[in-house]
Structure 1
Amino acid sequence: MTFTFTEYSALDYLKIDIASNYGDHNGQDLEKLNFEDRIRWFDQQEAAGNLVDLIESADDPALYFSGLQAYRDTLDGNPTGYAISLDACSSGLQILAILANCEKSARRCGMINTGKREDAYTSLFGDMQNQADFNLSAGRPDLKQAIMTSLYGSVAMPRQLFGEGSDALKLFYYIMETEIPGAWSLNLALKGLWQSWATEHEWVVPDGFEVSMAVEENMINEIQLFGEPVEVFTKQAKGTPKGLSLSPNIVHSIDGMIVREMVRRCYHNPKRIREVENACNIAIKRRERRKSASGHGRKKDKELRALWERYLTSGFLSARVLDLIDEKNVNIVSAHAVMDMIQTLPVDPFPVLAIHDCFRVHPNYGNDLRRQYNRIMRDLCASNILGDIATQITGRRQELKKIGNIADSILNADYALS
């Protein structure tokens, strides 16, 4: 599948980053604008000679100033180690949208192009304002908290914000159900995976990361300290008939894996990749069947076999297999599948500094970073990772129905990272 998203030069990425770090200008949040509009704002300020004068009024003066220095160094032909930042647009909503394969939800959070940089919280707030036939006292920051927490299973924040049984609360849930239907339905479905009275819920994501979510209850015990009674709080494993923490933890476990995959794929080892390619080519030429060899019982063979089993059940192949494959164990995997993944890696590897859903890279690699993010999200969308996790949690085979087929559209998203 060919990428057709808009690409930018390293200088453009510096301009975008500088505008984003400046933040609010005349009541307009520059970070929420299209890339072209941020570049235009920078060019206008540069032409007017205002860039240095704006340092003190920037939302993040240090990063704004650092970006300016990197821009000047680049113009002067001097190397710079400055890293631009590109953030996921509502990462939790993005994950729910792609797992549900919901086009409407995906458009709200930049996973499918709409022609602009989306801001789900602002647009959903606007929908509430447009449909409310009463005074809506809540603002966008409040609604953002209500949306974020409700997508992770919480009912407390919306109730606290709008009031129990209020018309505003009813409208809030109506907007969530109708404007991000797939993401919202999936959020509700994840609650249903809770295992009554279980003291823990466990699953393994496709890169082998093991998740163990203990179900605990706070216990209060009284002890004597210097002759005085003191209350000591401890946690004790204790199952409950229902719970809300499973939904956010499933999403967070996938979110964490996305970050790890971004780092693995972007900063791959070219020498290691060549070794894997050689091993795969040998296997392909010999036409050896995957089951005809299984390594030699080494630790790396067992790890590779476990990762491959996760791929077979989830449909998502982690780049972690590239650390383990050699000529002795290559027949554990499908050489063709591994080679296909290698073809999606950036030609020139580059380091990534990730802070949750914010990725910092050298401006030379902005396009490659966005391309990798879109590829990972596309592959997750096409996978059965959610059914695999649900099966592991419940101990029963789970087939979760998707409501659309948006995987390939994700590859061309301009503002999945912005």
Structure 2
Amino acid sequence: MFQQFTGKEYLKIDIAGSFGYDKQDWDDRIGWFDQNEHQLHALVPQAEEPALFYAGVLAWEKAKEGKASGYPISLDATCSGIQILACLAGDRRAAEITNVVDTGHRRDAYVSIYQDMVNELGETAKIDRKQTKLAIMTHFYNSAAIPKQIFGEGQLLGLFHDKVNENAPGANEITNTMLAIWDPTALVNEWVLPDNFHVHIKVMGSVTEAVQFLNEPFDITYNVNMPIKGGRSLGANMVHSIDGMVVREMQRRCHYDPAKIEQLTKLLNAGAAGRNTHRPQDKLVMALLDHYRASGFLSARILELLDLENLGHIPHALVRNLIASLPEKPFEVISVHDCFRCLPNYGNDLRRQYNNLLAEIAESNLLGFIVSQMVGKPIQINKLDPHLAHDIRNTNYALS
């Protein structure tokens, strides 16, 4: 069940998070705040994020006086890269350890895999938690060097890969697939996302030349646009591109134009059926619809473009469903990568929008849509669990 909180409760959660309790359950954070409210100013030097902690305390004091502070709370995605991979693959195990589906508590993917390794090794375990986190993070961005550097090339590395695969089999399979489809002849990797954002990444290889300077030989290494064998950047770039789309969609869906939505609703009720194709915005509507048909993901960008002249191109039920998914009132969002900030009264809406986006990715064929562009032929990829979306929409800690 999706837990909802008041604006004041979100302030409590935020202050506890800035102190260092951001990985605890909601109720534990609120409980910590209530126990320490009398000494918040004295705790500032001990906080993990002292500036944010102090700002939150000042906002709390204003809130108690009934005054607006303008202070935005912060809610972070929990391992956004693995969250996205879990949704793309329909990977329930990865979804559980990254809070994409609810398990009753706030989970930490890095701790889950680390603890599984420790449990296997028993008292002989000599692995560092922070180093293990680095190995997991870089593994899912297709790094082989960092895990080897941390665990060596023997039994410990094998155990690491086993536990990663046990905890996130679908996400791990995508990671391996991105290595397998690398094109050693390509000068560029490119694909289009459902919101018509065009990804264009040059393939860069290192070249070393010997030069003479003051009669001494020096090797100069620099990067050039050239084909390379065994490239490992495709997976990371794909995940980062979807991460960016999620940020853009959060902005569109949370901070929509209410006048535009009201106008669209009136046009839908009137049965508007214009099918203009000549204006630039009409062409973009057609492109977004093509991306939707291929990917199963409809970008909220289309709401900005629809009007009397082109509303006939899209099934009205699609537009109504998209409008119905928006928050009741628009609100501003500040995003820094996968950290989202908004005024405390909108915390519930912020979390619901993020959950809904993850659910829409899980329902879509987004992975097949992107991979098809990478390999140059249609690819349909089945999900391990095609029924994740309902659970995702009710999860508690995807943003926490």
**TM-score category of the 2 structures, normalised to the smaller one:** over 0.9
Q: Paired residue for 1:341?
A: 322
Q: Paired residue for 2:262?
A: 274
Is 1:411 aligned with 2:397?
no
RMSD between aligned alpha carbons?
Answer: 1.8
Say which of 8, 12, 28 aligns to 1:15.
Answer: 12
How far, CA to CA, are the matches of 1:224 and 1:360 in structure 2? Answer: 54
Say which of 56, 71, 94 aligns to 1:105.
Answer: 94
Is 1:152 aligned with 2:152?
no
Q: Paired residue for 2:27?
A: 36
Alignment of 1:19-168 (within 5 A): 19-23=16-20, 30-46=21-37, 49-133=38-122, 135-164=124-153, 166-168=154-156
Aligned AA (1:346): P
Say which of 301, 311, 324 aligns to 1:330.
Answer: 311
Q: Paired residue for 1:397?
A: 378
Is 1:198 aligned with 2:186?
yes
Q: Say if 1:294 and 1:76 are closer, same or farther in 2 by CA, change over 3 A.
A: same
Work out whether residues 17 and 67 of structure 1, in 8 Å CA contact, stay in contact via their aligned partners in 2. yes
Give the drift of 1:241.
3.3
Work out whether residues 205 and 228 of structure 2, in 8 Å CA contact, stay in contact via their aligned partners in 1. no
Give the drift of 1:152.
1.1
Aligned AA (2:74): S
Give the drift of 1:85.
0.3
Q: Say if 1:302 and 1:64 are closer, same or farther in 2 by CA, change over 3 A.
A: same
Aligned AA (1:12): E
Q: Paired residue for 1:350?
A: 331
Counting matched residue pairs gives: 399
Secondary structure at the aligned position of 2:63 is classed as helix
Give the drift of 1:237.
2.0
Q: State, as a whole percentage, how many aligned pairs show the same letter.
A: 41
Secondary structure at the aligned position of 2:190 is classed as strand
Secondary structure at the aligned position of 2:395 is classed as coil
How far, CA to CA, are the matches of 1:346 and 1:226 in structure 2? Answer: 67
Q: Paired residue for 1:376?
A: 357
User: So what's the TM-score if we normalise by structure 2?
Assistant: 0.96
Deviations 1:168-213 (A, max 9, x none): 1111011011122121112112222212311111100001110012
Q: Paired residue for 2:160?
A: 172
Q: Paired residue for 1:313?
A: 294
How far, CA to CA, are the matches of 1:137 and 1:248 in structure 2? Answer: 29
Work out whether residues 294 and 331 of structure 1, in 8 Å CA contact, stay in contact via their aligned partners in 2. yes
How far, CA to CA, are the matches of 2:217 and 2:257 in structure 1? Answer: 59
Secondary structure at the aligned position of 1:50 is classed as helix
Work out whether residues 200 and 212 of structure 1, in 8 Å CA contact, stay in contact via their aligned partners in 2. yes
Q: Say if 1:116 and 1:223 are closer, same or farther in 2 by CA, change over 3 A.
A: same
How far, CA to CA, are the matches of 1:342 and 1:320 in structure 2? Answer: 12
Is 1:386 aligned with 2:367?
yes
Work out whether residues 279 and 325 of structure 1, in 8 Å CA contact, stay in contact via their aligned partners in 2. no
How far, CA to CA, are the matches of 2:227 and 2:4 in structure 1? Answer: 51
Give the drift of 1:231.
6.4
Deviations 1:40-82 (A, max 9, x none): 0000012xx2211111111111111110111110110111100
Q: Paired residue for 2:282?
A: 301
Aligned AA (2:29): R
Secondary structure at the aligned position of 1:260 is classed as helix
Aligned AA (2:35): Q
* Mean CA deviation greater in 319-328 or 129-138: 129-138
User: So what's the TM-score if we normalise by structure 1?
Assistant: 0.92
Secondary structure at the aligned position of 1:295 is classed as coil
Q: Say if 1:233 and 1:241 are closer, same or farther in 2 by CA, change over 3 A.
A: closer
Work out whether residues 277 and 283 of structure 2, in 8 Å CA contact, stay in contact via their aligned partners in 1. no
Work out whether residues 281 and 305 of structure 2, in 8 Å CA contact, stay in contact via their aligned partners in 1. yes
